[in-house]
């Protein structure tokens, strides 16, 4: 009897564990089946894997970050230079459509439109006789970066764990049965590559080797090698031709190593065989336990920096896909914190120093011809991937993107010169692993010159967060090169006399007045990016005390950029002329670049532009593609409207297909453009941060956009510019109760808060006055807006805030209590 109660107790404990896992897990009570977007992602920045958790036919879909079609190549169109004056004239004459036609011929590449990120294939594991399973459960533990599947067959409990080890550079799969000798399965590779060999070796390794394909006239030059090795406890391993067979084991560990010959965008002379073998030899000499703990430690070094709690409800007891279905209608703040931390998990897993930046799908792609080639769209998407990097305390993971910008500044020099006769460097709206900088797809999309300008601002932002002058000196030539390109490319507008980008564009949108062409001169986004490129270069030069004559000339040019315009509908004009349609719901709202990620548009410094930006966003509407909604969360946060931002989060956290205009989330919480595109995950993670803390516009603004549903909570570990870390921040009933800020660089900490603060020892905090003296919080004044006489300009309706100045010393932490 006693034994019965003990077993009953155990059963209850196990069931309740299975049904109420710790918060930071995605979990399900069903296998993925054939649906890739049900599978769970693991990755270490170099390798990615999607774990299906299927019982009889398990598939672990494999990616390696450098496995791309093609090889080193350039795609400039040398006809551009001769056609440039004619294209410019057509645009200045209001013949945008004709200009677009000419640009299609003379500017768009005749070569590669970008190469494809491709999968290696699947590691398939087959478990004969496991058809009748019970107690099925699978999870992705984002606190440990381990995927797990458990089930029972004939009274035996089977467990599979999968991880992509950070320190050991391999994917490891651990299989156990809780009764001896019960583990029997076989392992094989499946791959869609045409040039490949799959075989087992004399030492019983399962190997796949091949070469990626030619694409759009570029020869496939990436050779890849994958090796899987199985070590068992008990039982036997035999090797058939293309199959490893495990029989009667107690447990097995599979080590998967993958490498390519890719060294950098210009060099494919690596030895994939030696690399794959060396990672494998090192890793396979270790037990699973010896790999697991260092893996978790390496992952948690990043992950644990931010803790976030908005409270919980009973929804936490449901599988993740059920919660996703309910989210629109049921309060589930824990799904928000899970989704938030999942964004951080995805960045840690897809972007590691020394590796490739997270692409359109991070590092997870199972298609030979993925949507948009799974490459880098730099008119928004790749930048969005990195919005959480600094804010959510993952600065080191910004490195692959920053490195890509550095490489673009090398390849983009020739593009600037041969296509536009300009010095400096530039990139159009896309790039790939070969760092191609030519114009692709068609002039409607590709005739956009600001890819270099915008991406270069990430280098400056990285400096603003950390204040490392040696770093600034290192990247200064890249900023200067971006500015030099603009200095050469800008041209005087014959009517307005402003200096404008021509041909310019407002990405992928087109007003009816331009006959459906996206090309124009002096579009708002082009002006805003030029303004930022000049301003950051001038400030960097001043900090580094160099290039005074050059910065003087940039200052003169900056003054001549077109100001922002408020149009007849009260909107922020997207184009130089007032031709916006208030019923336009296009996903790109590029002219709000000035509101976020830039902070040229401010509630306090430019209230009329702030109101106009709000009107524009209301015109554009909410529901759109995933990334567009992700951007909108950031914008509504900057507009200090937490409830509206939350409406967007609800649309984003809806199962795919719920909103007819698109967008939504897959069962594995991947964002849906649709199809899967990871930028929406990262954009939303950034946006949630912006709702809680903003460091822009001259201050560290706490709780700028708290929605009514998050009245109590706490978050710790967010980074602000100027080396501040909001170590902890707690709030109740929408008011701050406790704030702890660590200053790493010293300097004035200007805090903006929704309620009054006092110091921890009950002393008054100094009220702010004048300009923030902190060098990292300087804003260059934008020109006064040109406002249409028809515009009904309402002043922004802002909540009251409190503004404090706290002198800080490097290394000290400052604690405040809410009043």
Give the integer Cα–Cα distance in Å for 684 and 115: 28
State which residue, 255 or 444, has the beta carbon closest to ligand FUC: 444
Site membership for ligand FUC, residue 372 (CB under 6 A): yes
Q: How far is the CB of 384 from ligand FUC (least distance, A)?
A: 9
Q: What would the x/- binding string for ligand FUC be over residues 727 to 766, using CB under 6 A?
A: ----------------------------------------
Between 409 and 506, name the residue whose CB sits nearer to ligand FUC.
506
Based on DSSP, count helices (H) and strands (E) in the chain, helices before strands: 19, 35
Q: In this structure, what DSSP letter does residue 51 have?
A: E
Among the listed residues 149, 381, 523, 651, the single contact to ligand FUC using CB under 6 A: 381
* Spatial CA neighbour of 431 closest among 381, 481, 474: 381
Closest contact distance (angstroms) between CB of 586 and ligand FUC is 9
Three-state secondary-structure class, residue 748: strand
Q: 746: which 2 tokens? A: 């010293």
Query: Residue 428 Cβ, how far from ligand FUC at the closest point, in Å?
Result: 12
Q: How many CB atoms lie within 10 A of CB 489?
A: 24
For residue 431, the minimal CB distance to ligand FUC (Å) is 12
Q: How far is the CB of 220 from ligand FUC (least distance, A)?
A: 23
State the nearest-atom distance from the C-beta of 749 to ligand FUC, in Å: 38
Kindly list the distances between the CA atom of residue 276 and the CA atoms of 264, 279, 287, 314, 468, in Å, as whole numbers in the listed order: 17, 5, 19, 46, 36
User: Which of 176/625 has CB closer to ligand FUC?
Assistant: 625
In order of 341, 616, 702, 731, the CA distances from 715 in angstroms are 12, 31, 11, 9
In eight-state DSSP terms, residue 780 is P
Question: CB 441 → ligand FUC: shortest distance, Å?
Answer: 8
Which residue's CB is nearer to ligand FUC, number 75 or number 518?
518
Enumerate residues 6+ apart whose C-beta is below 8 A from 177: 156, 157, 158, 183, 249, 250, 251
Distance CA 739, CA 759 (A): 9
With 0-12 CB in 10 A as exposed, 13-18 as middle and 19+ as buried, what is 18? middle
Q: What radius of gyration do the chain's Cα atoms show?
A: 27
Residues 323-362 that bind ligand FUC (CB under 6 A): 360
Least distance in angstroms from the C-beta of 105 to ligand FUC: 21
| Count of beta carbons in the 10 Å neighbourhood of residue 661 | 15
x/- mask, ligand FUC, residues 560-599, rule CB under 6 A, reads ---------------------------xx-----------
Binding-site size for ligand FUC (CB under 6 A) equals 11
Q: Closer to ligand FUC at the Cβ: 379 or 772?
A: 379
Distances 690 to 293, 385, 814 between C-alpha atoms, Å: 33, 15, 22
What DSSP designation does 649 have?
H
| Closest to ligand FUC by CB, 253 or 383 | 383
The rounded distance, in Å, linking the Cα atoms of 464 and 472 is 9
Q: β-strand 565-566 against 786-787: which pairing, if any?
A: parallel
| 154's tokens | 């004939």
Site string for ligand FUC, 481-520 (x = CB under 6 A): ---------------------------x------------
H or E element at residue 527: helix 524-544
Smallest gap from residue 813 Cβ to ligand FUC (A): 41
Q: Which of 596, 627, 710, 814 binds ligand FUC (CB under 6 A)?
A: 627
* Nearer to ligand FUC among residue 381 and residue 743 (C-beta): 381
CB 377 within 8 A of CB 587: no
Cα 402 from Cα 422, distance rounded (Å): 23
Nearer to ligand FUC, 508 or 690 (CB): 508
The rounded distance, in Å, linking the Cα atoms of 815 and 563 is 41
Q: How far is the CB of 771 from ligand FUC (least distance, A)?
A: 38
Least separation, in Å, of the C-beta of 159 and ligand FUC?
Answer: 38
CB of 628 to ligand FUC, least distance (A): 7
Q: How far is the CB of 482 from ligand FUC (least distance, A)?
A: 21
Q: How far is the CB of 677 from ligand FUC (least distance, A)?
A: 6
d(CA 177, CA 250): 6
Q: Which is nearer to ligand FUC, 372 or 489 (CB)?
A: 372
Of residues 137 and 445, the one with the C-beta less far from ligand FUC: 445
Backbone angles phi, psi at 132, to 5 degrees: -95, 80
Q: Which is nearer to ligand FUC, 507 or 567 (CB)?
A: 507
- The footprint of ligand FUC on residues 20-49 (CB under 6 A) is none
Binding track, positions 665-704, relative to ligand FUC; x by CB under 6 A: --------x---x---------------------------
Count the residues in the chain: 819
Name the CA dihedral angle for 770, 774, 780, 782, rounded to a multiple of 10 degrees.
-40
Of the two residues 382 and 702, which places its CB atom closer to ligand FUC in the complex? 382
Q: Which is nearer to ligand FUC, 446 or 747 (CB)?
A: 446
Contact pattern from residue 525 through residue 564 relative to ligand FUC, giving x for each residue in contact according to CB under 6 A and a dash for the rest: ----------------------------------------
Out of 377, 536, 602, 606, the residue judged to bind ligand FUC by CB under 6 A? 377
Angle at 570 between CA 566 and CA 573, to 5 degrees: 40
Identity of the residue, 359 or 788, whose beta carbon is nearer to ligand FUC in the bound complex: 359
Site residues (CB under 6 A) for ligand FUC?
360, 372, 377, 381, 508, 587-588, 625, 627, 673, 677
């Amino acid at each position: 009897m006693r034994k019965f109660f003990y077993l009953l107790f155990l059963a209850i404990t196990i069931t309740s564990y299975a049904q109420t896992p710790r918060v930071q897990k995605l979990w399900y009570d069903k296998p993925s089946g054939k649906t890739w977007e049900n599978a769970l992602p693991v990755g270490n920045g170099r390798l990615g894997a999607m774990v299906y958790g299927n019982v009889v036919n398990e598939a672990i879909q494999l990616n390696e970050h450098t496995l791309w079609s093609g090889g080193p190549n350039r795609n400039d169109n040398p006809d551009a230079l001769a056609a440039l004056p004619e294209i410019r004239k057509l645009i200045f004459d209001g013949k945008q459509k004709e200009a677009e036609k000419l640009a299609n011929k003379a500017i768009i590449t005749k070569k590669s439109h970008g190469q494809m990120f491709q999968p290696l294939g699947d590691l398939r594991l087959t478990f004969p006789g496991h058809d009748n399973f019970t107690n099925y459960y699978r999870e992705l533990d984002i606190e440990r970066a381990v995927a797990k599947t458990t089930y029972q067959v004939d009274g035996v409990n089977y467990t599979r764990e999968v991880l992509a080890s950070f320190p050991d550079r391999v994917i490891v799969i651990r299989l156990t049965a809780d009764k001896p000798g019960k583990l029997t399965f076989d392992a094989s590779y499946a791959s869609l590559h045409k040039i490949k060999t799959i075989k087992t070796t004399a030492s019983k390794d399962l190997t796949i080797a091949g070469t990626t394909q030619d694409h759009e006239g570029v020869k496939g030059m990436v050779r890849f090698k994958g090796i899987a090795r199985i070590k068992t406890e008990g039982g036997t391993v035999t090797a058939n031709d293309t199959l490893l067979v495990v029989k009667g084991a107690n447990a097995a560990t599979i080590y998967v190593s993958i490498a390519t010959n890719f060294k950098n965008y210009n060099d494919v002379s690596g030895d994939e065989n030696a690399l794959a073998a060396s990672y494998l030899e090192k890793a396979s000499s270790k037990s699973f336990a010896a790999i697991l703990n260092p893996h978790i430690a390496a992952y948690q070094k990043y992950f644990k920096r931010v803790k976030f709690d908005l409270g919980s409800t009973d929804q936490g007891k449901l599988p993740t896909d059920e919660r996703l279905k309910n989210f629109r209608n049921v309060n589930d703040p824990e799904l928000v914190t899970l989704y938030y931390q999942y964004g951080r998990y995805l960045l840690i897993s897809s972007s590691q120093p020394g590796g490739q930046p997270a692409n359109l799908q991070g590092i997870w792609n199972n298609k030979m011809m993925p949507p948009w080639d799974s490459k880098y769209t730099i008119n928004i998407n790749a930048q969005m991937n990195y919005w959480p990097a600094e804010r959510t305390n993952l600065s080191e993971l910004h490195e692959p993107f920053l490195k890509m910008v550095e490489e673009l500044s090398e390849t983009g020099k020739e593009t600037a010169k041969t296509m536009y006769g300009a010095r400096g460097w530039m990139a159009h709206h896309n790039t790939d692993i070969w760092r191609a900088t030519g114009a692709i797809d068609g002039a409607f999309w590709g005739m956009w010159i600001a890819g270099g300008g915008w991406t270069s601002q990430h280098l400056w932002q990285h400096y603003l967060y950390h204040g490392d002058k040696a770093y600034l000196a290192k990247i200064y030539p890249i900023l200067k090169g971006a500015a030099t390109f603009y200095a050469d490319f800008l041209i005087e507008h014959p009517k307005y006399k402003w200096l404008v980008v021509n041909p310019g564009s407002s990405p992928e949108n087109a007003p009816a007045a331009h006959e459906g062409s996206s090309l124009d001169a002096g579009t708002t986004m082009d002006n805003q990016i030029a303004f930022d490129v000049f301003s950051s270069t001038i400030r960097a030069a001043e900090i580094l005390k160099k290039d005074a004559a050059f910065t003087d000339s940039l200052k003169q040019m900056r003054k001549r950029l077109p100001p922002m315009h408020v149009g007849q509908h009260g909107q922020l004009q997207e184009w130089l002329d007032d031709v916006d349609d208030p019923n336009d719901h296009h996903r790109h709202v590029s002219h709000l670049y000035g509101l976020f990620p830039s902070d040229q548009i401010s509630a306090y410094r430019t209230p009329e532009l702030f109101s106009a930006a709000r009107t524009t966003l209301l015109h554009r509407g909410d529901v759109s593609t995933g990334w567009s909604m992700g951007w909108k969360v950031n914008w509504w946060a900057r507009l200090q409207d937490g409830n509206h931002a939350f409406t967007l989060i609800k649309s984003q956290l809806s199962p795919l297909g719920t909103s007819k205009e698109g967008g939504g989330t897959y069962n594995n919480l991947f964002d849906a453009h649709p199809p899967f595109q990871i930028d929406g995950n990262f954009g939303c993670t950034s946006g949630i941060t912006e709702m809680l803390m903003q460091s822009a516009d001259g201050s560290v603004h706490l709780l700028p956009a708290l929605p009514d549903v998050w009245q109590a909570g706490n978050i710790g570990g967010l980074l602000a510019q100027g080396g501040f870390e909001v170590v902890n921040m707690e709030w109740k009933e929408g008011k701050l109760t406790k704030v702890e800020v660590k200053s790493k660089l010293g300097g004035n900490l200007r805090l903006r808060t929704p309620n009054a603060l006092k110091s921890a020892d009950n002393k008054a905090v100094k009220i702010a006055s004048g300009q923030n003296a902190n060098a990292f919080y300087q804003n260059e004044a934008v020109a006064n807006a040109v406002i249409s006489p028809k515009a009904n300009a309402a002043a922004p309706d802002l909540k009251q805030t409190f503004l404090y100045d706290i002198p800080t010393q490097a290394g000290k932490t400052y604690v405040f209590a809410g009043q």
